[in-house]
Amino acid sequence: MDLYDVIRTRRSVRKYRPDSIPQEVLNRLLDAARIAPSGSNRQPTRLIVVTDPETKQKLVPMCHDQAFVATAPVIVCAVGRDIEYNRGEWMGDCAMIVDVAIAVDHLTLAARAEGLGSCWIGSFSNTALKEFFGLPEDVNVVALTPLGYPEGDPFEEPEGRIPLDEFVMWNGWTG
C-alpha cells in the first residue's frame, strides 16, 4: 500500500474477528516498531506481546474495563525504561514517552498496511500493569493496542480532524 493511503485509512478498530495473525505478519509489525527512531538511539522501548486468552482477559480491568481489547487475538503492551537522558528543559521528562509513542505509531501503521486493525489504548492503570507483568521500578507502560483482523471494513478516511489551515501556522504562532 502507498504510505499516504496507510496513514489516511488507519483507524481505531474496536471490533475484531477471532482469526489469528500469521506469525510472519506479526513479526513484520514488531520489527517495524523495533526500527523506530529514538533520542540518541537509546531505544528504551520494549513490547510485551500477549496471545494467551486468559492473560488477555486479565488485562481488561487494567484497561479500565475496555472489554474489546481482549477480543483481538493479540494485545501489545508498549513499555519504556526511564533511561534518564534528560537533557534539561521540559522535554527531558517526556523523552521516554516520546520514543515509545513513535514505536507504537510504527506498529499501528504497519498493522494497517497488513490489513490489521489496532487501537491505541491510553486509558489504563500503570500501577496494575506494572505489578501484573512484574516490570522493574524504572519501566512504565506508555500504551497498549489490540491487534487483529477487523470486523467489516473500518478503514475509512477520518472525519472530525481540524482543517490544514488551522493545523499549520506559517512563520509563527497565528492561532
Ligand X SMILES: Cc1cc2nc3c(=O)[nH]c(=O)nc-3n(C[C@H](O)[C@H](O)[C@H](O)COP(=O)(O)O)c2cc1C
Q: How far is the CB of 120 from ligand X (least distance, A)?
A: 4
Site string for ligand X, 101-130 (x = CB under 6 A): ------------------xxxxx-------
What are the DSSP calls for 83-148, one per residue?
A: -----STGGGGGHHHHHHHHHHHHHHHHHHHTT-EE--B--S-HHHHHHHHT--TTEEEEEEEEEE
Among 11, 56, 106, 112, binds ligand X (CB under 6 A): 11
Q: Which is nearer to ligand X, 137 or 143 (CB)?
A: 143
User: Residue 66 Cβ, how far from ligand X at the closest point, in Å?
Assistant: 6
How far apart are the C-alpha atoms of 11 and 158, rounded to whole Å? 7
Say whether residue 145 binds ligand X (CB under 6 A): no
Give least dist CB 25 to ligand X, A. Answer: 21
> Which residue of this chain has its Cβ atom nearest to ligand X in the complex?
122
User: What CA–CA distance (Å, rounded) separates 50 from 23?
Assistant: 13
Residue with cell 505489578: 131
Gap between the Cα atoms of 116 and 127, Å rounded: 29
Give the amino acid at 58.
K
Residue among 69 and 135 whose Cβ is closer to ligand X: 69
Q: Which residues bind ligand X (CB under 6 A)?
A: 11-12, 14, 66, 119-123, 158
